[in-house]
A and B are shown apart, each in its own frame.
Chain A
Amino acid sequence: MEALAGFANGMVVALQPLHLALMIVGVLVGVIAGALPGISFVNAMAISLPFTYLMSPLVAMVFLGGIYVGGVFGGSISSLLVNIPGDPDSLPSCWDGYPITLRDGPERSLSIAITASAIGGLFSAFLLSFASPPFARLALSFDQPEFFAATFMGLVSVLSISKGNLLLSLLSLFLGVAIGSIGTDPLYGVTRLTFGIGLLDNGIDFVVVMIGLFAIGEVIDALASRQGYDFNVKRKGAMKVLGLRDIWKLRGSISRGTGVGSVIGIIPGAGAAVGALVAYGVERQVNRRRSEFGTGIEDGLAAPEASKNATTGTAMIPLLTLGIPGSAGAAIMLAALTLHGVQPGPLLYSKNPEMLYAIFASFTLANLFMVAISVLVARAFGMLMKTDPTVICAFIVVFSVVGAFGVRNNIADVYICLGFGIAGFYMKRFGFPTAPLVLGVILGPLAESYFLTSMANYHDDLSIFFTRPRSGALMALAFGFIFWALAPELRAVWRRVRG
């Protein structure tokens, strides 16, 4: 009851004109930044951080929260319209989302994505508002082995996107993990796999790899293709939020995606990308039409969309209750709070509950406004796509180059991005899967870091991943996942051996 009253008061504060206006601006900035390939919403949040000096802590959080919520969805716009993910979080949206765009028009895919994202985001915002303390306790009970087990689950989800090329996908995944381990190791400070090239000492950032493989690779393909290239997919109806009947049809995937995203969100370092990948993998295993995934199955789009926005609210729970950011976006919000002298943690509930509930309420509102703003941005993006594809490609290259440079303000990242772009084109041309490689580069360093710290903290006991109840459950799920995915292959080998 106390939480409900607090939330109602918070809503009154969040609805004040200044707060509302800045939240809408934030969501708009986030959706646009997310939609532009190469420019992530985290860049937008980092760029906006200095502007928050002029604001009160609450206004800063409302503004940055708007960018965060809008940005996590925004990447799906370019995924669905041009098959280039705006952000790593939106990579799974390409797999079934883009085929839906080609088959049923962009309105259908965007409607599913926007609705699923809004439902996931709203649920997550309600969890943030009413269930922060138990979720914070759950987050506290997670240690390095649990983080490793969750990341391992994300890695095995590659089996779900193998599309019949299991070995090739595994090879691509392991190459990605190897690329992710280039540079200084997370525990000892030793540089590995640099071949004496100084530029590689700091490692290869997954954003750079993703921009290269997907944006630059796609642009080269567009330039060299003899059949011509058209980003302007045919419209086949009006863009709208899904009706109750459609939502009911997708209820399973949306609720599973929301559940997965809500739990992944509280794991520090995991974030929306891991949430979306794991949700797609889980959906691919449990869905009735799992064998058709990758051909434009609506559940395959709804699950990762619901999941990635479901991470936004719960990523704030460890931040606000424990002072631990759950994602890159949450880390920037932590920076904004500390800049204003606000120390997030359990005391914030007793010292400043009004501000806390106003933040919760603004997250809820941001998810609602995201729907309208996303429709507008998607329409504008769709109109932009009517431009000559050569011109669009030229600007995609420039945005990608700036995006790669902006990751660490380092020209080496531009070279790496262009290198991966050329590699990405040839990988596409010869049917070598790129998505598992990106997954490996994203999750590999996390897995290594969690593995090494687990070994250091638990006396090199490898069984720790299986004997602790939560990590054991996650590992069991992951191995179940592996056997489930491998069963058809093993059966085929067995049949061949038997003659």
Chain B
Amino acid sequence: MKRPAVTELARLGFPLAVAGGAWLVANRHLAPGVDVEAIKRGIAGPTTWPEVILYCVAACACAMFVRMLFGVIAGARAAEQPQAENDGYDETRLAAGIALLICYGYAISAIGFAWATLLFLLAWMVLGGVRRPVAIVLTSAIGTTALLYLFVKVSSMPLDRGKGVFEQATVALYRVLGIY
């Protein structure tokens, strides 16, 4: 079956966008505000390596574009076309999972590792389809406690305690658990 023209154009746009982006960064955003030529001693300055590599990125992307273009013209599927390997994804669950991960990352610094992890484990298991509330609560609570002992008490890692009232709550929790 022939692929719709819009999809083909979108696929062709990917290497072009990469090449354009790499070119732009190599020319404008390597080390803005720094007079590289004044610092440079000899042929290799501080931006030489990333600049060469970004041009290599652009060259590869251009070569991919040319190859894909020939493939489209010939009506054949180009070898390098990024293909959706598996379409069997639940898009709602995917979006919720990604949102949950982003929230977890943010929550660690806002409410502290302990509380963020407890909430994350609860939410992830609910999202993943675990339907036994007791199991969810117990696994999250015991898991978080074990992780706190391992990383805070044994390994002395300075994991975030959160801000304001959450910091106080974390410290209180550590005292209750005998970590502090």
Contact = CB atoms under 8 A, between A and B. Distances in A.
Contact of B49 (A175, A181, A460): A181
Contacts, number: 180
- Give the interface SS of chain B, mostly helix, strand, loop or mixed: helix
B149 to A, nearest CB: 13
Contact of A405 (B44, B130, B156, B157): B157
B88 interface: yes
B60 interface: yes
A405 B93 CA distance: 26
B49 A448 contact: yes
Contacts of A409: 157-158
A223 B64 contact: no
Given A393-B124, A448-B49, A432 B105 contact: no
Interface string A146-188: 0000000000000000001101101100110110010001011
Interface string A218-247: 001001111100000000000000000000
Q: Is the interface of A mostly helix, strand, loop or mixed?
A: helix
B47 A190 contact: yes
A223 B157 contact: no
Contacts of A415: 105
Interface in B38-53: 39-47, 49-50, 53
Given A167-B64, A397-B120, A418-B102, A220 B94 contact: yes
B127 interface: yes
30 contacts: A47-B155, A47-B156, A167-B67, A167-B80, A171-B15, A171-B18, A171-B60, A171-B64, A174-B60, A191-B31, A193-B30, A224-B90, A226-B88, A226-B89, A226-B90, A388-B128, A390-B125, A390-B129, A393-B124, A393-B128, A394-B128, A398-B147, A402-B151, A402-B159, A405-B159, A422-B101, A430-B84, A456-B42, A459-B42, A460-B43
Q: Shortest 7 CB-CB distances between A and B: which pairs?
A: A390-B128, A224-B94, A190-B46, A460-B42, A188-B46, A430-B82, A181-B50
Interface of A: 47, 164-165, 167-168, 170-171, 174-175, 177-178, 181, 185, 187-193, 195-196, 216, 220, 223-227, 388-391, 393-395, 397-398, 401-402, 405-406, 409, 411, 414-415, 418, 421-422, 425, 428-432, 444, 448, 451-452, 455-456, 459-460, 462
